[in-house]
Chains A and B, each alone.
Chain A
């Protein structure tokens, strides 16, 4: 047990810090140290995972969790996203008057769920991690109770999420019935003659649950409402960390637990629908947060392109894409959080109200330029390399049509990403937007996060060392299992 806890030190640190924070907050309400405890615990976990990134792979807690390898990578993304979210949340929550300690405890608990989900080696761990994460996110979406938009989005998210959990659990039950195990590797070995109706029924229900959590179309309906009503840094956390963890688990299930032959076409179809729906609907959005929500749907489609290749390069490309996606979206949501003025968590604010803000707040303006260009996939930013990493394996797998649709969809996406920049730099200022620009100074902590994201996007756009790293997760002696039955 002690050895397991040492191997999953990040999980232990974050859980204990969350529990400690609940007690601490009960006696020191709204103490200034609360976000520090949360942030430092997440940072400690992040450093632990980064140090163990190249280390050997293993399992912990009687094969429930994986350690090292891709699990360490996904965990590092989740924890890094958590650190940046806590830093961005402090000034934001003070601004909307809801800087309560429970938020930070819930962010830590959500991270615990994501760590279990992203590193799961067993369907039980997947389910418990997914639920811990989701319940915390439902609460975080709706804790600003005085705001009707927030309550509405939380209720929608909760009801649809509970429904998708039902699909997920039923899928797990069928898979257990068909194979007699919940362990990923044993499950692949337990599939008899290509699996029967029960096995593939279980797989399809499980996929429905996953596609809901990563907000792939046609299970994306909750995403725009939830992101629009949630406090903006929390929406960034939902968009990045929860999707990363869910994709991390999905990748490992596809890689370790399922025979490859059947699901690749299914995922290809979902990838097309998701890319088209996300990008087309994003074109007509007036609200920035809604636009970012549809953009995150579209990005889930790009990741699915990589996965539907069924090749190890696709999996490693998807992991790299997730890292780039986390950096871009944490930054973009961070900028949007600072530019809110409607007092309703940006749920009613239109894009046009930001006219000319780019010149008044050059840091935010130029950072937004980098994020939007990276989201639409311009070289030399990391978004370009990420798209290449997911589209190239699809071409290798013979899915050229899918890659073409993906490239066309990202060409469409350039329209709505660049429109943000047109509004911020080329439209003349209105009275409202100049008042907005004068109404606040950028907190130094938020500025640091945004600058860090910008730098990382340039760095990862110019080096392929991370792709080589993620490639390594799927190479070591496991090629045979991929090509096998």
Chain B
């Protein structure tokens, strides 16, 4: 019960933060709203027993990518950006209504075609969502794939250096 209350509280907070990011007129405030949104989504993953994704969400999105965003915002000359127009509520509401209708229609069509997957239960997610269960398959069954991904990332790094840094010889 507490979990589902927490879920809806976090969902509402995530929606508010997303709206705040869209509606805020200052880029830095927008970015801060986005961080709040990403944290709330991480919390949602926790309530769904997906611990690993929750941690990765915080580390990768709220950590690395947001720092990148803030750097870009700070490097930009904010004063030279064009002035933002006032928000047109009529268009926003009509857009939201339209999207809602589209979502419902898509759901009904998908339901009729029987392509909707059955939702996983929380217990099943608890078995597979933890970092240890992920690590277990990653380092046994998929160990070779894991190593090849290492080579892939190394190749990408070398490529970035070769293309960006190497002076023509």
Using a CB–CB cutoff of 8 Å, the interface residues on chain A facing chain B are 1, 4, 15, 18-19, 22, 30, 60-62, 64-65, 97-98, 100, 102, 105-106, 109-110, 112-113, 116, 124-125, 128-129, 131-132, 135-136, 138-139, 142-143, 145-146, 177, 196-198
Q: Which listed segment binds A: B20-28, B46-54, B77-85, B112-120?
A: B112-120
Say if the beta carbon of B67 comes within 8 Å of chain A.
Answer: no
- Interface positions, chain B 41-95, Cβ under 8 Å from A, are none
Query: In the complex, are the beta carbons of A196 and B114 less than 8 A apart?
Result: yes
Q: Which residue of B lies closest to A124 (CB)?
A: B145
From A62, A102, A110, A125, B162 is in contact (CB under 8 Å) with A102
In the complex, 24 of the A-B residue pairs with CB atoms within 8 angstroms, ordered by the A residue number, are: A22-B158, A61-B143, A62-B140, A62-B142, A64-B142, A65-B144, A97-B168, A100-B162, A100-B166, A102-B166, A106-B159, A109-B154, A125-B144, A129-B148, A132-B151, A135-B152, A135-B159, A138-B159, A139-B156, A139-B159, A143-B163, A145-B163, A145-B168, A197-B113
Smallest CB separation, B159 vs chain A (Å): 3
Smallest CB separation, B125 vs chain A (Å): 16
Known: A145-B166, A177-B117, A197-B113. A124 touches B151 (CB 8 A): no
Alpha-carbon gap, A410 to B168, bound state (A)? 42
Say if the beta carbon of B141 comes within 8 Å of chain A.
Answer: yes
Chain B residues within 8 Å of A64, by CB: 141-142, 144-145
From B113, B114, B140, B151, A15 is in contact (CB under 8 Å) with B151
Q: Which residue of B lies closest to A115 (CB)?
A: B148
Alpha-carbon gap, A480 to B163, bound state (A)? 51
Query: In the complex, are the beta carbons of B169 and A98 less than 8 A apart?
Result: yes
Smallest CB separation, A36 vs chain B (Å): 20
Chain A residues within 8 Å of B152, by CB: 109, 113, 128, 131-132, 135
Chain A residues within 8 Å of B97, by CB: none
Smallest CB separation, B87 vs chain A (Å): 33
Smallest CB separation, A126 vs chain B (Å): 10
Alpha-carbon gap, A423 to B166, bound state (A)? 39
Smallest CB separation, A428 vs chain B (Å): 37
Alpha-carbon gap, A142 to B162, bound state (A)? 10
Number of A-B contacts (CB under 8 A): 94
Smallest CB separation, A328 vs chain B (Å): 28
Known: A142-B163, A196-B115, A197-B113. A109 touches B155 (CB 8 A): yes
Say if the beta carbon of B149 comes within 8 Å of chain A.
Answer: yes
- Interface positions, chain B 85-131, Cβ under 8 Å from A, are 113-115, 117
Using a CB–CB cutoff of 8 Å, the interface residues on chain B facing chain A are 113-115, 117, 140-145, 147-149, 151-152, 154-156, 158-159, 161-163, 166, 168-169
From B117, B141, B148, B156, A62 is in contact (CB under 8 Å) with B141
Query: In the complex, are the beta carbons of A106 and B144 less than 8 A apart?
Result: no
Alpha-carbon gap, A60 to B94, bound state (A)? 56
Alpha-carbon gap, A61 to B141, bound state (A)? 7
Chain B residues within 8 Å of A102, by CB: 158, 161-162, 166
Chain B residues within 8 Å of A198, by CB: 115
Alpha-carbon gap, A1 to B115, bound state (A)? 39
Smallest CB separation, A184 vs chain B (Å): 15
Chain B residues within 8 Å of A62, by CB: 140-142
Chain B residues within 8 Å of A146, by CB: 168
Chain A residues within 8 Å of B151, by CB: 15, 18-19, 109, 112-113, 132
Alpha-carbon gap, A100 to B162, bound state (A)? 9
Chain A residues within 8 Å of B143, by CB: 1, 61
Known: A100-B166, A109-B151, A146-B168. A61 touches B158 (CB 8 A): no
Smallest CB separation, A28 vs chain B (Å): 15
Chain A residues within 8 Å of B141, by CB: 62, 64
Known pairs A15-B147, A112-B151, A177-B117; list 20 more (Cβ under 8 Å).
A1-B143, A30-B169, A98-B168, A102-B162, A105-B155, A109-B151, A109-B152, A116-B148, A128-B145, A129-B148, A135-B156, A135-B159, A139-B159, A139-B163, A143-B159, A143-B162, A143-B163, A143-B166, A196-B114, A198-B115
Q: Which residue of A lies closest to B164 (CB)?
A: A145
Chain B residues within 8 Å of A177, by CB: 117
